[in-house]
Amino acid sequence: MLCFENDYSEGAHEKVLKRLIETNMEQLPGYGTDRYSESAKEKIRAACGCPDADIYFLTGGTQTNQTVISSILDSHEGVVAAETGHIAAHEAGAIEWTGHKVLTLPQEDGKISAGDLETYLNTFYKDANHEHMVFPGMVYISHPTEYGTLYTKGELAELSAVCSEYHIPLYLDGARLGYALAAKETDVTLKDVAEYCDVFYIGGTKAGALCGEAVVFTKADTPLYFVTKVKQRGALLAKGRLTGVQFDALFTDGLYLEIGKNAIDTADELKRILRENGYEFYIDSPTNQIFVVLENTQMEKLREQVVFSFWEKKDDTHTVVRFATSWATKMEDVKKLAELLSRGRNILSGIGKNSPDDKALCNK
Amino acid sequence: MLCFENDYSEGAHEKVLKRLIETNMEQLPGYGTDRYSESAKEKIRAACGCPDADIYFLTGGTQTNQTVISSILDSHEGVVAAETGHIAAHEAGAIEWTGHKVLTLPQEDGKISAGDLETYLNTFYKDANHEHMVFPGMVYISHPTEYGTLYTKGELAELSAVCSEYHIPLYLDGARLGYALAAKETDVTLKDVAEYCDVFYIGGTKAGALCGEAVVFTKADTPLYFVTKVKQRGALLAKGRLTGVQFDALFTDGLYLEIGKNAIDTADELKRILRENGYEFYIDSPTNQIFVVLENTQMEKLREQVVFSFWEKKDDTHTVVRFATSWATKMEDVKKLAELLSRGRNILSGIGKNSPDDKALCNK
Amino acid sequence: MLCFENDYSEGAHEKVLKRLIETNMEQLPGYGTDRYSESAKEKIRAACGCPDADIYFLTGGTQTNQTVISSILDSHEGVVAAETGHIAAHEAGAIEWTGHKVLTLPQEDGKISAGDLETYLNTFYKDANHEHMVFPGMVYISHPTEYGTLYTKGELAELSAVCSEYHIPLYLDGARLGYALAAKETDVTLKDVAEYCDVFYIGGTKAGALCGEAVVFTKADTPLYFVTKVKQRGALLAKGRLTGVQFDALFTDGLYLEIGKNAIDTADELKRILRENGYEFYIDSPTNQIFVVLENTQMEKLREQVVFSFWEKKDDTHTVVRFATSWATKMEDVKKLAELLSRGRNILSGIGKNSPDDKALCNK
Amino acid sequence: MLCFENDYSEGAHEKVLKRLIETNMEQLPGYGTDRYSESAKEKIRAACGCPDADIYFLTGGTQTNQTVISSILDSHEGVVAAETGHIAAHEAGAIEWTGHKVLTLPQEDGKISAGDLETYLNTFYKDANHEHMVFPGMVYISHPTEYGTLYTKGELAELSAVCSEYHIPLYLDGARLGYALAAKETDVTLKDVAEYCDVFYIGGTKAGALCGEAVVFTKADTPLYFVTKVKQRGALLAKGRLTGVQFDALFTDGLYLEIGKNAIDTADELKRILRENGYEFYIDSPTNQIFVVLENTQMEKLREQVVFSFWEKKDDTHTVVRFATSWATKMEDVKKLAELLSRGRNILSGIGKNSPDDKALCNK
């Protein structure tokens, strides 16, 4: 069975695992005060070009969004996000659970525009009734977005400028940031992210770690007593070393970017083959998530040999599916998938012909 | 430096780590639906003698308490706990953060009594104003308690009976359950815990895992859509394998109890030596936490060679400190600590004599 | 100055005030247990044709929505509403403040359709990821809507049927219910509302009371310990008589419907005149809120003599405004407003003519 | 039947009601922006000697405590209060519902001491684990307390000094402030309260109003967008005039103090008689709540003619009960109660004598 279901199917990258093994029996203090956490923070500060940044390690993406957002917002405030933003749609109401509304903007390819944001903020403050409404207290974007798309440096700069004008922080969800940074068609570096965002997180869970996300407050303006707030939200690991050691490994010798590169290379190869075979792309993603339209019969057959994600129904006979690559994806598996997709394509064109080969595939 | 600071200073038990390494590159589905999580659940059900129990893996203790308690309680209800209970004192208000009051009972050696509980519940319902008060919706106990003490089987049965009478669940925080089960002076088995509690958790973080706690709903009456609630509270790991694999290892060939045994054996040896040397125990704990009264000068000297925890001031010249052993504690380290304590004792009796040996110790 | 700003500009209807005065010095028990509250409940049960309904009095609309919704929903659930619903837009995030998401549906004239609701619910449960999303736990509608429009009996029946199919309650916000019931173009009676809704409230604040809303659980399935939940949300009046006496008056001798009638009669007259004068209606509302498009210059002139509400910008030269009538609106004031509107119209058509009369108006 | 059950048994003081009647048909803007609310604020500022104070009107005591406390505290903070404080015991967990813990101090006669507060704060910050605990973010006191007792000016000054030292606000719950100010044995004026507290509220519900409490931020440092926060908590009245007009009346010509005086005079007379008849006081309260020990048989007989409150069981044969006077209590009712108590006393001393008079009383 081939697996292109997501980018968190394997455990940890071997270099990450190696460091966990090497440090396993060291006696270290808890709650993120160990030397590996400190070392990881220093390396991340350097990689971000933010020598003064405050850095904290949390365990997962939803937890990080929930903790950061609810620690920054005042109680009368909500967070602005694309209507397709992860916090708006797929985190089980984790933000509302903390008392805050997600204020949604229209999106294009998963992205919000500075223009729409400016209009929203301007309209809000001009509304005579705005004191009866939820104040926009910060802006959330994801990079890559939930559709694998990327903001350009210019777009980030514009969003950042609007946020500055309205004195609200810009927060970037980098659950898959490694795959954004390694994309071929991007002009955004980690330093750019750090420059334009007030706070963001570097995703570990989907990029080589067993678990872990690194939150970066680029302007060293962490909410007061953030550690207590993390604890209060159930997000403080006793063995902080678990995330500290992993991020220390990820930010040693450029491993985090190297990890991203494998995902991009394998995704690009898969896209090349799909394009050659005439597949329709649902969206043009430059990162590790590929959204393709499959004919339903073919999709069902493919399921017998490949694990992938249902995305949405396109029409009565077609479905949008997602193939994801990762740091762990092997090029040979991409080739096997390519072959299946290519054969599937032929089978479908030949439906009704009952060739013995088709049977063979079906019976597998 | 000797480390007796706590029971989470090292990484994972070698057998746990081994399983993580062996399974690392397997491609597994996320969110706890992998086969190792399933296998671990089966093994835990068997160990608990609860073939129908619902089991879920979470990451840490505060997170587990917060998620379980806030999922069980209705909004007008609070949780009854000892005033020294972890949720009442040392979880940064994680329960209140979810909207629920911790209703405290007096404690003795960290334990609440069935009598006090009965009186509390009876008084509450007899109070004409009780509709203006927080309803007691469940009962929280820890075993071992925050003082390392243990409930007897009879005490658990009594607490369970009172809870049944008032139709509220009994919840046991087993952050250190492994050390309770391995204690020499206990008549409580894992099956007893499962029998008397409606829900409890088996602690992994402090007993051999990198992270992880296993929640057991013994009567298969998990709150509706618990997985969604876990997600909403930021507590659902994408790579559920991380906890699944570890608990699968912990419940293979009795490892969890074996882990407990090492902590108890080393703690018992340490207690024996302390007793021999005439140390005063702050509390008589049968598990892996030892609370001892030290003279302040001795304590300061000891700090130069041993890491341990400050517990509380006893009087102007004495302090209560805690030494903790764990699955990872080496008997040779216990012997080294014993020697230091023994020498420290002599030094103290000889204060003012200025023997050269004293100096040597001080200068280390 | 004429006032058509809203329907809560005056104090209480004279008959309501009279009862408050008459009962003022009676010594009554608190928290809604007085005999006037009981009497009011009996009268409301009779008017609703629900002899077993549970009834509670709260103080205001946002408070009532917040208390009812947060008491009904389980923590993983949200409330479905029109994107223009009061809870979605103009209650300062009062629902999210209690931890629950408002799940929005598209609206037409402020209403949601059974078809859209069915599609939403069906799609939700078919989504393989729905356990990572907020569950739709109840449905909120307002009647009249925020645009003054009304559901038909057929539409209510359809919405109710969809809710029943999915086992979620239908909740109706009746902040202006009195004006809905008195509308000429409606086939919905109070008994219909009680039949099709699981819970709804009868608005007092905007229909003759100083404050107060009556919540009706039509199926006598009030959430457990609702009074405690009301208290916990800061919504329990010590002098429950204040709302009890008022609702007792409102439901004596059909006063509540009579109150509605005056608002409708005056609104209808105003609409007739506006129509005669060729004004453009933004929406066709059969109740007491009238949304009209004014030319900006005219609007500014009108402001000098009339208080009304800005609704939204229509284009660069036109604005949508709202005139509201109420139980207290005098027909003579409608006539004065009509004259101003009629003259304003002429002025505008005659801009540039500089007639002395126009000046007079402008200079006021 | 005589009623000494509480101080909110009647409606509004006649002068308050008169103003409501006089202003009833005036058309006024909503949400507290009307001229009566403004006038009331000016009068309160003058009475407090705080020309710059920010003032807001809310509806009830629990609502006010909940809104003020949850608007001031950061999420990692709790509020310090006496273990008998209303927020700690009798508000159905309204503070915890907003996510904040009530941190309790021991009390004497319902009061906390500056010494205990200082010790608590000092111990907290010295605790090495305090980042894992709830931070004390403000201090709550009630004046009069739940036992009717009063702080002295010196005690308020001391509490204020400790709060200043730790940079946390002192908040005073003045649900019955009118009765505190009118007490004969007090050196605390309204200006003193305003000087020593950062925020407090002047209770209307229990002192002459139908509903309403006036929150005073003495240093004009209201939490940002407080009106939005009030709305979000369901506490913003559409007809703000309801509270505005009432407080305008209460602070015209010293009515608020006059109201208090009647309660104190009647309470003092009742206490005099009780003392004469040798009753045991449970607590020595200088305000309008009188706590007396009754023999159970006598208590049951008294219940047939008087409504009063059960407070707590004293021993198997005695009970503590509360008699409350108010602005509305008539001296003639006090005399009737005195007679009953005096006769009851004799009856009891004569139990077993079976005098015909006893029978008469029993049969009433």
CA distance B42 to B64: 20
A window 118-157, beta carbon within 8 A of C: 128-129, 131-134
Question: Between chains, do B131 and C75 touch, taking CB under 8 Å as contact?
Answer: no
Question: Between chains, do C234 and D238 touch, taking CB under 8 Å as contact?
Answer: no
pLDDT > 50? residue A168: yes
Question: Between chains, do D234 and C67 touch, taking CB under 8 Å as contact?
Answer: yes
Least confident window among A227-236, B73-82, D34-43, D298-307: D298-307
For residue C229, list chain D residues with Cβ-Cβ distance below 8 A. 92
Q: Which residue has the tokens 């928290």?
A: C31
What is the pLDDT averaged over residues D249-274?
96
Question: Between chains, do D62 and C236 touch, taking CB under 8 Å as contact?
Answer: yes
Condensed to tens digits (0 to 9), the pLDDT of residues D94-142 reads 999 999 999 999 999 999 999 999 999 999 999 989 999 999 999 999 9
D5 shares contact with chain C (CB less than 8 Å): yes
D199-203 vs A54-58, strand pairing mode: unpaired
CA distance B94 to B88: 9
What is the pLDDT averaged over residues A313-318?
92
Under a CB-based contact definition with an 8 Å cutoff, are residues C7 and C288 in contact? Answer: yes
Distance from CA of D31 to the nearest CA of A (A): 10
Sign of the torsion angle spanned by Cα atoms B241, B245, B248, B250 = negative
pLDDT > 90? residue A353: no
- Reported as a pLDDT band with limits 50, 70 and 90, residue D347 is low
ipTM > 0.90 (yes/no): yes
Question: Between chains, do D134 and B101 touch, taking CB under 8 Å as contact?
Answer: no
Helix (H, G, I), strand (E, B) or coil at C311: strand
- Reported as a pLDDT band with limits 50, 70 and 90, residue D356 is very low
What is the pLDDT averaged over residues A21-39?
97
At residue C350, the pLDDT reads 41
D window 290-349, beta carbon within 8 A of C: 307, 328
Question: Between chains, do A71 and D75 touch, taking CB under 8 Å as contact?
Answer: yes
Condensed to tens digits (0 to 9), the pLDDT of residues C272-289 reads 999 999 999 999 999 999
Strands in A318-324's sheet, in edge-to-edge order, are A280-281, A289-295, A318-324, A309-315
The dihedral over CA atoms of A191, A154, A145, A60, expressed in degrees to the nearest 10, equals 30
At residue C326, the pLDDT reads 97
pLDDT > 70? residue C360: no
Closest Cβ–Cβ partner in A90, A93, A129 for C90: A129
Neighbours of chain D (3+ CB pairs under 8 A): A, B, C
- H-state helical runs in D90-148: 114-126
- Reported as a pLDDT band with limits 50, 70 and 90, residue D344 is low
CA distance B308 to B320: 11
- H-state helical runs in chain B: 14-23, 35-48, 61-72, 86-89, 114-126, 153-166, 177-181, 190-196, 226-232, 241-250, 255-276, 296-303, 331-349, 356-363
Question: Between chains, do A133 and C90 touch, taking CB under 8 Å as contact?
Answer: yes
At residue C345, the pLDDT reads 64
At residue B343, the pLDDT reads 76
Condensed to tens digits (0 to 9), the pLDDT of residues B12-55 reads 999 999 999 999 999 999 999 999 999 999 999 999 999 999 99
Q: Which two tokens stand for residue D322?
A: 């509360």
CA distance B282 to B15: 35
At residue B344, the pLDDT reads 64
pLDDT > 50? residue C254: yes
Distance from CA of B224 to the nearest CA of A (A): 14
Question: Between chains, do B99 and D99 touch, taking CB under 8 Å as contact?
Answer: yes
C100 shares contact with chain A (CB less than 8 Å): yes
CA distance B216 to B44: 9
pLDDT > 50? residue D352: no
Which of C33, C73, C75 is the mutation pick for testing B, counting most B CBs within 10 A? C75
D54-58 vs C309-315, strand pairing mode: unpaired
Q: Which two tokens stand for residue D120?
A: 């608590």
D199-203 vs D170-174, strand pairing mode: parallel
User: Which residue in chain B has the smallest CA separation from A97?
Assistant: B232
CA distance D76 to A223: 10
C6 shares contact with chain A (CB less than 8 Å): no
For residue A102, list chain C residues with Cβ-Cβ distance below 8 A. 101
At residue D118, the pLDDT reads 98
Question: Between chains, do B90 and D128 touch, taking CB under 8 Å as contact?
Answer: no
Question: Between chains, do C11 and D26 touch, taking CB under 8 Å as contact?
Answer: yes
pLDDT > 70? residue D21: yes
Better-predicted residue by pLDDT, B119 or A350: B119
At residue B8, the pLDDT reads 96
- Reported as a pLDDT band with limits 50, 70 and 90, residue D156 is very high
C window 33-72, beta carbon within 8 A of B: 70-71
Question: Between chains, do D232 and C21 touch, taking CB under 8 Å as contact?
Answer: no
Condensed to tens digits (0 to 9), the pLDDT of residues D186-215 reads 999 999 999 999 999 999 999 999 999 999
For residue C8, list chain A residues with Cβ-Cβ distance below 8 A. none
A115 shares contact with chain D (CB less than 8 Å): no
For residue B94, list chain A residues with Cβ-Cβ distance below 8 A. 231-234
CA distance A76 to D227: 9
Closest Cβ–Cβ partner in B98, B100, B310 for D128: B310
At residue D89, the pLDDT reads 93
- H-state helical runs in chain C: 14-23, 35-48, 61-72, 86-89, 114-126, 153-165, 177-181, 190-196, 226-232, 241-250, 255-276, 296-303, 331-349, 356-363
pLDDT > 80? residue A49: yes
At residue D343, the pLDDT reads 76
What is the pLDDT averaged over residues A115-122?
98
At residue C341, the pLDDT reads 86
Distance from CA of D33 to the nearest CA of A (A): 13
User: Which residue in chain A has the smallest CA separation from D132?
Assistant: A228
For residue A29, list chain B residues with Cβ-Cβ distance below 8 A. 5, 9
At residue C72, the pLDDT reads 98
pLDDT > 60? residue A355: no
At residue C354, the pLDDT reads 40
Ordered DSSP codes for C187-227:
---HHHHHHH-SEEEEE-TTTT-SS-EEEEETTS-PPTTHH
Single out the residue of D248, D242, D235, D285 nearest to residue D264, CA to CA. D285
pLDDT > 50? residue B351: no
CA distance A196 to D139: 40
CA distance C244 to C230: 16
Bridge partners of D315? D318
Which of B131, B135, B168, B236 is the mutation pick for testing C, counting most C CBs within 10 A? B131
